Amino acid sequence: MKVVITYGTFDLFHIGHVRLLKRLRMLGDKLIVGVSSDEFNLKKGKKSIFSYEERSEIVNSSKYVDLVFPEYTWEQKREDIIYYNANVFGIGSDWIGKFDDLKDICEVIYLERTEGISSTYIKSVLSLS
Q: What angle do CA 38, 43, 44 make, to 5 degrees?
A: 90
- The one among 3, 4, 5, 8 contacting ligand C2G by CB under 6 A: 8
- The one among 36, 37, 62, 87 contacting ligand C2G by CB under 6 A: 36
- The one among 3, 4, 7, 25 contacting ligand C2G by CB under 6 A: 7
Of 13-21, 62-70, 80-88, 100-108: span binding ligand C2G (CB under 6 A): 13-21
Whole-angstrom distance, CA of residue 40 vs CA of residue 110: 22
Whole-angstrom distance, CA of residue 96 vs CA of residue 103: 13
Whole-angstrom distance, CA of residue 108 vs CA of residue 76: 16
Question: Which residues would be at the binding site for ligand C2G (CB under 6 A)?
Answer: 7-10, 16-17, 20, 36, 44, 71, 91-92, 94, 113-114, 117-118
